[in-house]
Amino acid sequence: MTTNEAAAKWPAGFAINPRSVLPDLKLVEEFRTVPTAIASDCLGRTVGSIGLKSYHNSFTLGMCGPALTVRTRPGDNLMIHKAIGIAQPGDVIVIDGGGDISQALIGGLMRILAIARKISGFVIDGAVRDIAEWAEGVIPIYARGHTHRGPSKDGPGEINVPICCAGMAVGPGDLVLGDADGVVSIPVAQLPMLLPLVRAKAQQEDAIRIVNSTGEFDDRFNLLLRAKGCPV
């Protein structure tokens, strides 16, 4: 059965698709320690999440894994339950909930199942609840906001489709990084090219840290000012 034939069997607004591309596991491990700020810099400083808050109460709990994407009707989590049920260990579930925070899309009971299934984290353009449980850590979660008001379970919704989540374009299988600074999504095809760039950027920043620790002013900023005609 072709993909189109399979899609034709779903009612309008519903779809559960396979992921056709996943990152190499060795590359995933290489990126596990890459800060989102460095990845963002190397991607042109124009990508990554906007307006999300971390609810896992940790500056050190990182997130790195392939995206399992969900697009759902605001305030409905039927397909999110299904996504948790089919997620593979290490996956990051990324949810386009339309930015709505009037009803929570995920809560503490779903957190327990996600931990048991070894899901690497959640990124939600929507709301979360049971935030005291999420604050215990263990699994990272980023969301637009929180509310006690629970969701419906009617659909529609789609799994493993290209989505927009908090200003990020995220495709199924994209590598998703998260830390205290936010979330970045990296297309699989860009990972081999990006790896040497983030390594070089990290080395450059290590060198700048050494200079800054001496209290010496970095003359590159004077050079930039002079290039703009400023007498310094």
Domain range summary for the chain, segments of one domain joined by +: 3-187
Please report the pLDDT score of residue 5 as a whole number. Answer: 57
Determine the CATH number of domain 3-187: 3.50.30.40
What's the CA gap between 73 and 22, in Å, rounded?
26
Spatial CA neighbour of 183 closest among 94, 99, 97, 117: 94
The tens digit of pLDDT for each residue in 19-45 reads 999 999 999 999 999 999 999 999 999
User: Angle at the Cα of 49 (from 48 to 54), degrees rounded to 5?
Assistant: 130
What CA–CA distances, in Å, run from 169 to 47, 70, 100, 124, 174?
8, 12, 18, 13, 10
The tens digit of pLDDT for each residue in 78-123 reads 999 999 999 999 999 999 999 999 999 999 999 999 999 999 999 9
